[in-house]
Chain A
Amino acid sequence: KAGVTQTPRYLIKTRGQQVTLSCSPISGHRSVSWYQQTPGQGLQFLFEYFSETQRNKGNFPGRFSGRQFSNSRSEMNVSTLELGDSALYLCASSPGLVDTGELFFGEGSRLTVL
């Protein structure tokens, strides 16, 4: 069974631009979560989607948004990029929304903002 797939793996943007990152969960998984990883702040939760609805949200500004499609694939968008948005963005999937299971992470999309 294929794992969580994130695209693109690497990208470079300039301040003020916007970016869209994509995540395809493990087949059969319906929940997708997004995390930002930076050396300074560590791993921070962005948001979680299940059945195309945002179910949980972290403490990030409105420039960070996401969505989930009917096939459970998810995208996140960051608008008006700032230097501080440079990070590894990790997507994770799970079969359901509330159980005792663990998350399955993709390899991440590394965003560099110049």
Chain B
Amino acid sequence: AQSVAQPEDQVNVAEGNPLTVKCTYSVSGNPYLFWYVQYPNRGLQFLLKYITGDNLVKGSYGFEAEFNKSQTSFHLKKPSALVSDSALYFCAVRDRGSTLGRLYFGRGTQLTVWP
């Protein structure tokens, strides 16, 4: 069965410092990997995805993620955090053999960036 783990419920970081939100997955084959962000009382917004190729992918708002096949991880990173980055972040995977709408999500990590 497919599963996604976000080991930290909360991540706190000072503005200007680098941030990392961790994600590991257990999926058969080579899945597609995604990061989404959710602001309070809003839907999910797409940040970035890994399909194939370079292990470091860049996305919206200065975020990037590093895919590590041997560790089955897809950690989200940003070199310099902003207070406005405070939100709930979700890692998701999709089996390459599945339909586009079938994502498996992690439980989410609440990121708080303090001034």
Contact = CB atoms under 8 A, between A and B. Distances in A.
B103 A45 contact: yes
B46 A55 contact: no
A31 to B, nearest CB: 6
Contacts, number: 68
Interface residues of B, number: 23
A33 to B, nearest CB: 3
- Which of the four size classes fits the interface of chain A? 20 to 34
Interface in A6-40: 6, 31-33
Interface in B30-58: 32, 34, 36, 41-46, 49, 51
Given A43-B90, A105-B43, A108-B43, A94 B103 contact: no
Given A42-B105, A42-B107, A43-B90, A99 B100 contact: yes
Contact of B102 (A56, A105, A108): A56
A110 B108 CA distance: 19
B101 interface: yes
